[in-house]
Amino acid sequence: METMRLSKRLAEMGICSRREADVYIEKGWVKVNGVAAVLGQKVSPDDLIVVERQALTAQAHRVTILLNKPVGYVSGQAENGYQPAVVLIRPENHWHGDQSKVNFSRDHLKGLAPAGRLDIDSVGLLVLTQDGRVAKEIIGENSAVEKEYLVRVEGELDSEGLRLLNHGLALDGQALQPAKVWWQNDDQLRFILREGKKRQIRRMCELVGLRVVGLKRIRIGNIMLGDLPTGQWRYLSQDENFS
């Protein structure tokens, strides 16, 4: 009978991420057939897996934060003297229009990580989360969550170039998934992607003779940037989801 690691099974069940599963197992919060699980344990489809209430409670307290990232901040770890976007998650930058009713706590900064990237010179919606399930939903290998961008460009683009942007380009030796690209106005394109290779939009535009002079992410799945001001953030509400 085919087996797999317990942490992978829990992730496939949508209970938590693999990393979170290992933490739960270490804490004794996961049982297999009534016996406390151990790290690295393998399970079969017939095994009964039970996750204790403590794990579900810990998960319920994890937060996801939506930030309107300004230019000059990197998405993840500090690099080349630039600060990570997480330094903006301070009480004074908490948007007054936040409807989540979540009160800020320093604990919300622990384990907070970006679910996807925005280049240092790009702006707009950046998701920071403590919840591995959210990260997997947005940037997991099989994610189908759309990301939408407004892209200001310079250069000439004919109908063939626009066709290639929609479907016909390759990066790093791999064909890109079909995109949706159209003119928003005279100098701005609108992009909808389902993947997120490094600097993908800028590189796509270079391949058809365009230069990106401004890039703003305005949507991830069902979540719009909306009226969230630049440099401010809000919590994802319990009744909101990305897909």
Which residues are identified as catalytic? 119
74 closest CA partner among 66, 84, 88: 84
162 closest CA partner among 146, 151, 173, 172: 151
Output the CA–CA distances (angstroms, integers) from residue 207 to 72, 127, 157, 201, in the order listed.
Answer: 25, 28, 11, 10
Letter string b/e over residues 203-237, b meaning 16 or more CB atoms within 10 A of that residue's CB: ebbeebebebeebbbbbbbebebeebeeebbbbbe
